[in-house]
């Protein structure tokens, strides 16, 4: 009974963190109006959170393996709650961005520890399949409901409550974790790879600025891209010489695990892009209000819950590879449906089939790949495996949005939304090829 209570408690944390990835999107215009921030500045409220969280996730996973998962889970959850409070009361835009960066750091500490606790409490087999199905469904539903909640909260309570509403729930998770999660075993002291974590965070941040950043200085984006490449090279060099690297070299000798994480990044890139395409089409093209646009996405959340009901059963029957390929295929069909609706200029109801297909892609694809990415882990590497898998999801989503949306709006190309959809489909084709090796 206790494992399922722990799963319920930690799923609440997963839901709150997943909501925070997307909940600011529809609130951005209100935030910009209050702080007089332009569109370029507002982008970093979203990208800064996801990339910082992704960059520190593997460090957070390693920290949990070394210091104890319960301790790191409590510390990360507390940091996320404090940052949410700071975001809600921030008197300036600079402090709001700091709060978002701290939220990303809190996520990076809390989520790998939480997922490692779940993996270790549920043995491999049907029980773990069901647990990971619930975990992934909660994350996916939180991402989608973030858009809905953003419209409702912003219009009825004001954008600050987008952050403040999470604080009491975070307090509940802290208390429940203290009561339900077993205490950590005594661990041994080992050095931690903080330089590697910082370089892994700097590389995608510089890459995002180089691709999507706007500046009056034409030389800044190329310099940022060069900095991203340099940070990546330095990261590899640091990892080779580190006494206790962020990710042990032996971790990448598991071919199926590596392929599962690569396919996860490509699938998440398309899924995250689809969210913004839905939002842009509903608000910019169809001119729906924030509240109406948010409510229009309800079928996506309902379809995700339905998919989550069937995925654990079919995963045991199909296996991780077939489940992943089915999800990738559904996501590709969903992106094609988005492009068709945009091209036809159809109304909001025409997007419902695309939403259902994207939901199926998330449900089948991410759960299958997640199961493959943590198969065979033990007490010593559960946190690292969880951190790598989550980082692949985060980096894939943020990089996909940067590349697919950034290239889609390049001058001289076709409809930006159609172009972004086509690019995402190409990425999904690569994901399918990679997933065949899982």
Q: Which of 208-217, 250-259, 281-290 has the lowest mean pLDDT?
A: 208-217
Query: What sign has the CA pseudo-torsion 86, 293, 363, 259?
Result: negative
Q: Which residue has the higher pLDDT, 100 or 185?
A: 100
Question: Which segment, 91-95, 416-420, 427-431, is predicted with the most confidence on average?
Answer: 427-431
Please give the average per-residue pLDDT across 26-52, as a whole number. 77
Q: Structural domain boundaries of the chain?
A: 2-193+243-435, 194-242
pLDDT of residue 411: 62
Percent of the chain having pLDDT more than 70? 90
Average pLDDT score over residue span 326-332: 95
**Average pLDDT for residues 249-256, to the nearest whole number?**
75
End-to-end CA distance of the chain: 32
pTM given for the model? 0.77
Q: What percent of the chain has pLDDT over 90?
A: 26
The CATH class of 2-193+243-435 is mainly alpha
Residue 344 has pLDDT above 70, yes or no: yes
DSSP labels, 146-173: HHHHHHHHHHHT-TTHHHHTTHHHHHHH
Rg (CA), the chain: 20
State yes or no: pLDDT of 110 exceeds 80.
Answer: yes
Helix, strand, coil abundance in the chain, percent, nearest 5: 80, 0, 20
148-179 confidence digits (pLDDT tens): 788 888 888 888 999 999 899 999 999 988 88
pLDDT at 410: 64
What band does 217 get if pLDDT is binned at 50, 70 and 90?
Answer: low
């Amino acid at each position: 009974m206790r494992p399922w209570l722990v799963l319920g408690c930690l799923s609440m944390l997963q839901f709150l963190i997943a909501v925070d990835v997307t909940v600011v999107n529809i609130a951005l215009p209100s935030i910009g109006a209050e702080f007089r921030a332009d569109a370029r500045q507002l982008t970093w409220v979203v990208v800064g959170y996801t990339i910082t969280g992704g960059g520190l996730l593997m460090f957070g996973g390693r920290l949990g393996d070394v210091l104890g998962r319960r301790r790191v889970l409590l510390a990360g959850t507390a940091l996320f709650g404090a940052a949410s409070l700071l975001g809600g009361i921030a008197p300036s835009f600079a402090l709001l961005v700091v709060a978002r960066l701290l939220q990303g750091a809190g996520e990076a500490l809390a989520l790998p520890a939480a997922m490692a606790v779940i993996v270790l409490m549920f043995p491999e087999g049907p029980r773990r399949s069901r647990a990971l199905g619930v975990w992934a469904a909660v994350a996916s539903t939180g991402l989608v409901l973030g858009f809905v909640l953003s419209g409702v909260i912003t219009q009825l309570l004001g954008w600050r409550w987008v952050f403040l509403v999470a604080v009491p729930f975070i307090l509940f998770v802290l208390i429940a974790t203290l009561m339900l999660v077993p205490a950590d075993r005594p661990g041994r002291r080992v050095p931690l790879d903080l330089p590697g974590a910082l370089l892994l965070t700097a590389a995608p941040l510089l890459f995002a600025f180089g691709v999507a950043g706007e500046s009056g200085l034409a030389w800044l984006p190329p310099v940022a891209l060069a900095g991203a490449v340099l940070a990546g090279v330095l990261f590899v060099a640091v990892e080779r010489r580190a006494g206790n690297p962020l990710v042990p070299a032996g971790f990448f000798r598991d071919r199926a695990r590596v392929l599962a994480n690569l396919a996860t990044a490509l699938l998440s890139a398309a899924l995250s892009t689809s969210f913004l395409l839905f939002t842009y089409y509903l608000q910019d093209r169809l001119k729906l209000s924030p509240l109406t646009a948010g409510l229009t996405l309800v079928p996506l959340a309902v379809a995700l819950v339905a998919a989550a009901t069937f995925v654990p059963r079919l995963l045991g029957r199909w296996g991780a590879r077939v489940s992943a390929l089915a999800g990738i295929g559904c996501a590709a069909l969903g992106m094609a449906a988005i492009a068709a609706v945009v091209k036809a200029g159809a109304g909001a109801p025409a997007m419902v089939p695309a939403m259902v297909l994207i939901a199926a892609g998330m449900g089948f694809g991410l759960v299958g790949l997640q199961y493959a990415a943590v198969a065979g882990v033990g007490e010593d590497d559960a946190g690292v495996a969880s951190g790598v898998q989550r980082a692949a999801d985060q980096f894939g989503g943020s990089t996909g949005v940067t590349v697919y949306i950034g290239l889609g709006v390049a001058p001289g190309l076709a409809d930006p939304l159609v172009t972004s959809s086509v690019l995402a489909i190409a990425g999904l084709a690569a994901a399918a090829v990679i997933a065949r090796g899982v």
